[in-house]
Amino acid sequence: MDALDILTHIDQVVPHYQPIFSADEQCIVGYEVLGRFQQDGEVISLGPFFHDETIPEEFRMEVDVAITTKALEQFVNEQPASLIFINRDANVLMLDRGESFLQLLLPYKEKGLRLNQVVLEITEHHFKGDIQQLGHVLTYLRTYGIQIAVDNIGKESSNLDRIRLLAPDLLKIDLHSLRTSTVSYDDVLYSISLLARKIGATLLYEDIENAFQLQYAWRNGGRYYQGYYLHEPSPSFLPKDLLKETLRNQFHTFIQHEKKKLQTLYDISEQFQARISELVSKYKKASSFNELISALAKQLSDCSFRIYICDEDGFQQSANIFKQGETWELQPQYEMKNWSWRPYFLENIIRMRSRKRGILSDLYSDIETGEMIRTYSYPIDEHHYLFIDLTYEYLFEHNAHL
């Protein structure tokens, strides 16, 4: 579509609204404003127009203002939800340090718009200027109550350090990457969720296109959800409780699935607690830790591929005993290696010491084998702890691989 066609028929530029649903109330909590062009009975997305950097910024701004003005008028008149999400190119926003955006909003404050209902959406990895200066402008806009969302998190080259500097109120995670990524999206998402927790940001998952992705978003800390699976962009606002029953039923299914998974892990942990307690008691007269893990290995061939013992500071007090095929092999080179640097290591030591019980770890990728595994840790005495790495095959057979 030619840019001049749009500019000369700017009256045919209209906003469409894609609803954003909340997990806590299962209702529409807000709308993202999207640009559309009506031509010969056809509705065309203006996304390519706004992303085309060959089009002068003032042309794109003119169309953006036309869309935003119509959207704000409709939003103020109907008050359909708590939030309205407005996209802005951060590079264009910085031309006048956000002043024109602010001046566009202020007249609607007199018409009933609360500025804390406005969420300014920007894309961090498209910004070419000084990120600290952008941060200052966003802080200035926040003094008026305007909320900030950084979108397309997890897409292209999002920089978490830059995002931290912007300290947004919401992080919009792009689930399209979940379908196309060749790297572990779970690892990326874990880093994002840690950042969100540190800066106090809410997670909003966008581009949800099926039930599996909705469940994934729910399971991974998503408070808000958006995508064609829930509802496509519409020229009008929708009933607030449009999907309340549907979402409530889906969340109930998700909850039942998660509770079943947690019960499975609890049962496995309890079974290992009883099993390892009995075995450690049986072989407590072993003359050395290496003799102890060798005896244990013979009894745990059905579930484990590596066993070792550490002290409370993380220094390994035994060799590794490692399963190669059907044979267990002692690896003395691991003695006195220190593992206290590993995430949760010392925390788990304290938990085991205080509860006097073993712990089943979360699922993680083993450094040496690359397999997804869990580790069962068990307190032998007040100062020494047994670590049993469980095979993926065993976890899969017992539905503990999720």
* Three-state secondary structure string covering 364-394: EECCCCCCEEEEEEEECCCCEEEEEEECHHH
- Which one is predicted more confidently, 42 or 159? 42
Tally of CB atoms within 10 A around 383: 12
Calculate what percentage of the chain has a pLDDT beyond 70: 97
CA torsion, ordered 341, 345, 346, 348, to nearest 10 deg: 170
pLDDT of residue 182: 46
User: Which residues make Cβ contacts (< 8 Å) with residue 197, sequence separation at least 6?
Assistant: none
The pTM score is 0.88
- Which of 13-27, 91-105, 157-171 is predicted with the least confidence, judged by mean pLDDT? 157-171
Give the CATH number of domain 257-397: 3.30.450.20
232-259: average pLDDT? 97
Rounded Cα gap, residues 395 and 53, in angstroms: 51
Rounded Cα gap, residues 184 and 161, in angstroms: 20
pLDDT of residue 154: 65
User: Which residues make Cβ contacts (< 8 Å) with residue 384, sequence separation at least 6?
Assistant: 289, 309, 310, 311, 312, 317
Fold of 3-227: TIM Barrel (3.20.20)
Q: pLDDT tens for residues 355-369?
A: 999 999 999 889 899
Q: Which helix (H) or strand (E) holds 34?
A: strand 28-39
6-31: average pLDDT? 96
pLDDT of residue 131: 92
Q: pLDDT tens for residues 47-65?
A: 999 888 888 888 889 999 9
Can you give the residue ranges of every domain in the chain?
A: 3-227, 257-397
Q: Do domains 3-227 and 257-397 have the same CATH topology?
A: no
pLDDT of residue 124: 82
67-84: average pLDDT? 97
Tally of CB atoms within 10 A around 70: 14
Rounded Cα gap, residues 70 and 352, in angstroms: 60
pLDDT of residue 250: 97
Rounded Cα gap, residues 219 and 72, in angstroms: 34
User: Could you identify the residue written with the tokens 């390519």?
Assistant: 48
Rounded Cα gap, residues 359 and 29, in angstroms: 40
Count of positions (residues) in the chain: 402
